[in-house]
Structure 1
Amino acid sequence: MLSIVQQDHLTVKSELKLLNRVQQWFEQFCLQHLSKLDWSEGQLHRLNLALAEGFTNAVRHAHHTLPPETTIDIDVSLWIDRLEIRIWDYGKPFNPDAIAEPEPGTLQVGGYGWFLLRRLVDQVVYERGADGRNCLLIVKYGLQKQQ
């Protein structure tokens, strides 16, 4: 059975100006721990972009009618074979499968973030938790470095 190698947690207010803080926290985690996985710098940039997309979606969409003091919790867990990011919000749930995929060469209002996320990482899951919060799970699988 695989176990968590390292994990961290961050709670921030629902404000777009905190995106830099969120990304710096994540980058620091990566610098400290991701040397345990054999990932390229490009893969780490894609993960950071996925985190940014998930966080800004929580602020702009999930929390758009809630006060800025409403918190967003972010968990990052490094396993032997993957990295997981969980972004927790208090907004109304939505069904990402109901979003029509943009046709190449056409314009549509909204929905691009969900498809960007799915192309940046290996797995994206959005579900409502028992505590009434929504969780966006972002997973990137990696190869364990040979010892």
Structure 2
Amino acid sequence: MLSTMQQDHLTVKSDLKLLNHVQQWFEKFCRQHLYQLGWSETQLYRLNLALAEGFTNAVRHAHSALPPETGIDIEVSLWIDRLEMRIWDYGKPFNPDAIAEPEPGTLQVGGYGWFLLRRLADRVVYERATANRNCLLIVKYALDGQH
């Protein structure tokens, strides 16, 4: 198994006001590592949007009944062929596959974020991890496996 080329980690409180800080941290990581590998602006925009969706879901849903001081851990790992983001929360276990996919042209309350994530990334997994935490894994592969 190949080791990661680059990795970074950020821990923030459960506060939507910190979304800009989270996105700026990710953009800095991208500037330092992804541009030189040929990742496109579109790919990075989609990844940043996926990160924003994952973070806001952790704050709004997973941590809705928890104190705002509850930490959210975010990890970014860059491999030669992909970027992986992990967002760790302390919410109750939840199965996103149980959400009905919105039908085109209809209105539905909630559930759009999960489908947005699946369209922005190549692989999305949300599962119960250790230490009473959940992990949202977002994976995006480099184009054509060239990078």
Indicate the percent of aligned positions where both proteins have the same amino acid.
Answer: 83
Q: Deviations over 1:19-75 (max 9, x none)?
A: 000000000000001134332100100000000000000000000000000000000
Where has structure 1 moved over 2 Å in runs of 4 or more? Answer: 35-38
SS of equivalent to 1:35: helix
Partner of 2:76: 76
Q: Does 2:5 correspond to 1:5?
A: yes
Q: Pick which of 136-145 and 64-73 moved more.
A: 136-145
> How many residue pairs align between the two structures?
145
Q: Secondary structure at the match of 2:108?
A: coil
User: Unpaired segments of 5 or more residues in structure 2?
Assistant: none
Which structure 1 segments of 5+ residues have no match? Answer: none
Tell me the residue number matched to 2:130.
130
Q: CA deviation at 1:127?
A: 0.6
- Report the TM-score, using the length of structure 1 for normalisation: 0.96
Distance 1:18 1:27 in 2: 14
The answer as to whether partners of 1:50 and 1:117 remain within 8 angstroms in 2 is yes
- Checking the alignment, whether the CA contact within 8 Å between 1:14 and 1:71 is kept in structure 2 is yes
When the two chains are superposed, the root-mean-square deviation of aligned CA atoms in Å is: 0.9
Find the counterpart in structure 2 of residue 88 from structure 1.
88
